[in-house]
Amino acid sequence: MRSTEQDTHFGFRTIPKGEKADRVRDVFIGVSSRYDLMNDLMSGGMHRIWKNALVDWLMPQQDQRILDLAGGTGDIALRIVERQPNASLTVLDLTEEMLAMGRDRAARLRSSGDIAWITGSADALPFAADSFDACTVAFGIRNFPDIPESLAEMHRVLRPGGRLLILEFGHVEVSGLRRLYDRYSFSVLPRLGNLVLNDRESYQYLVESIRRFPRRKEFAGMIEAAGFVNVAVRNMSFGVASIHSAWKI
- Binding flag, residue 121, ligand SAM (CB under 6 A): yes
Question: What's the CA gap between 135 and 68, in Å, rounded?
Answer: 6
CB of 11 to ligand SAM, least distance (A): 14
Interface with ligand SAM in residues 146-165 (CB under 6 A): none
Q: Does 93 bind ligand SAM (CB under 6 A)?
A: yes
Count of residues interacting with ligand SAM (CB under 6 A): 19
Could you tell me which stretch among 8-16, 56-64, 127-135, 137-145 binds ligand SAM (CB under 6 A)? 137-145
> How far apart are the C-alpha atoms of 133 and 153, rounded to whole Å?
14
C-beta of 60: minimal distance to ligand SAM in Å?
16
SS3 readout for the chain: CCCCCCEEEECCEEEEHHHHHHHHHHHHHHHHHHHHHHHHHHHCCHHHHHHHHHHHHHCCCCCCEEEEECCCCCHHHHHHHHHCCCCEEEEEECCHHHHHHHHHHHHHCCCCCEEEEEECCCCCCCCCCCCEEEEEEECCHHHCCCHHHHHHHHHHHEEEEEEEEEEEECCCCCHHHHHHHHHHHHHHHHHHHHHHHCCHHHHHHHHHHHHHCCCHHHHHHHHHHCCCEEEEEEEEHHHCEEEEEEECC
Residue window 25-44: x/- pattern of binding to ligand SAM, with contact defined by CB under 6 A:
---x----------------
Binding segment toward ligand SAM, per CB under 6 A, in 87-95, 108-116, 158-166, 214-222 = 87-95
Q: Which of 10, 42, 75, 84 binds ligand SAM (CB under 6 A)?
A: 75
Stretch that binds ligand SAM, among 135-143, 151-159, 178-186, 231-239 (CB under 6 A): 135-143
Among 95, 202, 242, 245, binds ligand SAM (CB under 6 A): 95
Question: Which is closer to ligand SAM, CB of 119 or CB of 235?
Answer: 119
Distances (CA, A) of 147 to 4, 94, 185, 242: 15, 14, 24, 17
Nearer to ligand SAM, 36 or 224 (CB): 36
Nearest CB to ligand SAM, comparing residues 33 and 217: 33
Minimum CB–partner distance for residue 75 and ligand SAM (Å): 4
Q: Does 55 bind ligand SAM (CB under 6 A)?
A: no
169 binds ligand SAM (CB under 6 A): no
Q: 119: which residues sit within 8 A by CB, 6+ positions away?
A: 92, 93, 94, 95, 96, 99
Could you say whether residue 24 binds ligand SAM (CB under 6 A)?
Answer: yes
Interface residues toward ligand SAM, by CB under 6 A: 21, 24, 28, 70-72, 75-76, 93-95, 98, 121-122, 138-140, 143-144
